[in-house]
Chain A
Amino acid sequence: MHPLILVAVFVVCTVVGYFIISNVPSLLHTPLMSGMNALSGVTLVGALSATGIALLNGQSLWAQFFGMLAIILATVNVFGGFGVTHRMLRMFNKKKH
């Protein structure tokens, strides 16, 4: 992947991301922050591909250890983040029942 493409993707997503959430009621700021936080665990994808390749090619134990640790940390972030967000959002909705 050419570096310029990656940087371009970053810039475009930053701009789009900036505009897509610009009109959120403050009521939703906490869940939104928490949801964003879960999404930042997307680094799991990077941890997986790096660790998987390291494991399959029998690279050093350090590589495997760091990789496994990265996967665990990122997964905790993803599951914890989405779980907490879901619990908060459910509370906003339950009054309708």
Chain B
Amino acid sequence: MTLDIVQIIVSVLLSVCVLVGISMMSKVKTAVAGNLLSALAMLCGVVATLFFSHILTAWTVFVAIIIGALVGSFMASRAQMIQMPQMVALFNGLGGGASALVGVMTYMGWGTVDAPEYPHFINFTAVLAIAVGMITLVGSLVAAGKLARIIDGRPKVYPAHSAVTLCLIVVSVVLILLGTVYAENVWIAVGSLLLTGCFGYMFAIRVGGADMPITISLLNSLSGVAGSIAGMAIGDIFLVAVGGIVGASGLLLTQIMCRAMNRSLMSILLGGAVKKKVQASVQPVQGKTPEGGHTQFLPTDDFEKLLEKLNDMEVKQLLDAIEALTKEVAGLRQQLAQSGAAAPAAATGKAEKTPASVLSNAKDVIIVPGYGMALAQAQHAVKQLADKLEYRGTKVRFAIHPVAGRMPGHMNVLLAEADIPYEKLYEMQAINDDFKNTDAVVVIGANDVLNPAANTAEGTPIYGMPVLAVADAPEVIVCNFDLKPGYAGVENPLYTREKGVYLCLGDAKQTLMTLINEIQ
């Protein structure tokens, strides 16, 4: 009995350590120490469990710990900063999976010796742990796969998606209730594993685009809840406490992100249908380049036939054909120029102003990074650009949209990696009014977060999302890979603006290097 009390006191102390660690992690100066404190509290929690459960002699668990530690450390040390979102999602899924397994063990009556005092409570929490854990595992794996581009990143909606999802929820709830009453039933355990796994898949597969960070954050919260419920099942206070803290903080982070995007959580989870329409409207744009149709010679003709045809043609005929073609090309050019699609080309072509000259003359520049910067690994080139501009006396600031990239704070991490002081990073609300007063804006691999269509294009997934007011700036230099719509699939009208937009397409790192060299 006294040992029980000691165990409770130790658990409470360690939980407080975790809380202090997390609060320290919320300040830049103490963040490293906070992380280490949390890790230390966790280590003490593990040692205490080994001691209090009298399992120090079960040497095989140490083998498992060592395997896990080696794999985890290896993955953590090898991951590149750009892979962080999928790494976090993957680790998160594994934690959820572990909670589900603990749920299975407890439900099947494994891992305990005495008959439980409150069997229904234990059964209920055990099956619930299986459910939440499996949703976390499968959902996180799908999210990680989408982010790593192993599976298609766009939202996918199956026929009768909502109906099937609803059925899965209902049957899962029934299984949880059945599991509460009937203990140690293999079919209930297997059934809830499979069904909730399917639910996790259905839930994550229909989310896509800029909503991915929110999904990961939500799954992060869920894995904490799963741990906490598993803790209730086996009656471990430390586990319940830490799981609860993680669940709450993950939910808060999710809310912060939802607010930043001006969307409710439900609309994100159920928003797949809207996006499908947008994709359909975007598709034809990609394949519209006029091509072919003018030559009479098919590649299938062999060389001798080709010669015969040429011989049959008279010189005059050939000249006529060439003249007709030239006219046609000229007509097409005119059409393009009138339709405005060629406006950017005209803008870069006509003026003596070039992106480099704009930057050379600017006194105040705002840089807007996005996921493209991460993809191109261009953060060091961005740093060089900022250094060069500052050396010339230009004021350089960075505008960070709350959901730029694939994770909250993704851009901050990358820019910090490139040694850009965080005092120069401004959040959206802090800098949005300054765009109209600045001399030039450099956009690096960002699209959705500055798309003015968010204010006007109703029915698109980004409608209503607060965006960076890049469109207000007099001169905008866009260093994007191409002009295709961003992750959310909505065309950006800024690219076809008549004046003051310079498009430097291609790999951001190379574009930036040429830009840096050209600035005089």
Query: Which residues in A have some Cβ–Cβ distance to B below 8 Å?
Result: 1-3, 5-7, 9-18, 20-57, 59-60, 62-64, 66-95
Contacts and interface: CB of A to CB of B under 8 A. Distances in A.
Contacts of B400: 26
Interface string B149-172: 000000000000000000000000
Complex A-B, nearest 10 residue pairs according to Cβ-Cβ distance, in ascending order: A75-B68, A52-B55, A83-B76, A50-B111, A79-B72, A13-B244, A17-B245, A63-B110, A17-B248, A29-B409
A44 B105 contact: no
A91 B68 contact: no
Given A7-B232, A43-B102, A88-B413, 6 more contacts: A1-B235, A20-B249, A46-B233, A51-B105, A74-B95, A84-B79
A3 B35 contact: no
B239 A14 contact: no
Contact of B253 (A11, A13, A29, A76): A29
Interface in B306-355: none
A46 B234 contact: yes
B412 A6 contact: no
Interface string B102-121: 10111010111100001001
Contact of B91 (A64, A81, A93): A81
A50 B68 CA distance: 17
Contacts of A42: 42, 45, 227, 238-239, 242-243, 246
A30 B412 contact: yes
B31 interface: yes
Nearest to B250: A36
B98 interface: yes
B240 interface: yes
A81 to B, nearest CB: 5
Interface in B383-440: 400, 402, 407-410, 412-413, 416-417, 419, 421-422, 425, 427
Contacts, number: 399
Contact of A77 (B28, B65, B72, B104): B72
A35 B87 contact: no
A77 B98 contact: yes
A53 B96 CA distance: 22
Contacts of B87: 80, 84
A16, A57, A85 — which one has the most chain B CB atoms within 10 A of its CB? A85
Interface string B25-41: 11110011011101100
Determine the main DSSP class of B at the interface with A. Answer: helix
Contacts of B42: 38-39, 41-42, 44, 78, 82
A63 B109 CA distance: 9
Nearest to B83: A84
Contacts of B242: 13, 39-40, 42
Nearest to A83: B76
A56 B111 CA distance: 9
B117 to A, nearest CB: 8
B216 to A, nearest CB: 8
A86 B35 contact: yes
B18 A39 contact: yes
19 contacts: A3-B118, A5-B237, A6-B240, A7-B232, A9-B241, A10-B240, A14-B244, A15-B248, A17-B19, A31-B25, A35-B22, A36-B249, A46-B99, A62-B108, A67-B101, A75-B64, A84-B84, A84-B87, A89-B35
Contact of B407 (A5, A12, A30, A43): A30
B121 A53 contact: no
B408 A33 contact: yes
Given A30-B408, A32-B253, A49 B94 contact: no
B240 A13 contact: yes
B208 interface: no
Contacts of A75: 64-65, 67-69, 71-72
B220 A36 contact: yes
A21 B252 contact: yes
Nearest to B219: A37
B92 A53 contact: no
B461 interface: no
B425 A53 contact: no
A13, A82, A86, A94 — which one has the most chain B CB atoms within 10 A of its CB? A13
B361 interface: no
Contact of B220 (A37, A47, A71): A37
A31 B35 contact: yes
Nearest to A55: B58
A76 B46 CA distance: 14
Nearest to B59: A55
Given A28-B28, A89-B31, A6 B235 contact: yes
B226 to A, nearest CB: 7
A37 B95 contact: yes
Contacts of B409: 26-33
B269 interface: no
B49 interface: yes
B65 A71 contact: yes
A10 B22 contact: no
Contacts of A86: 32, 35-36
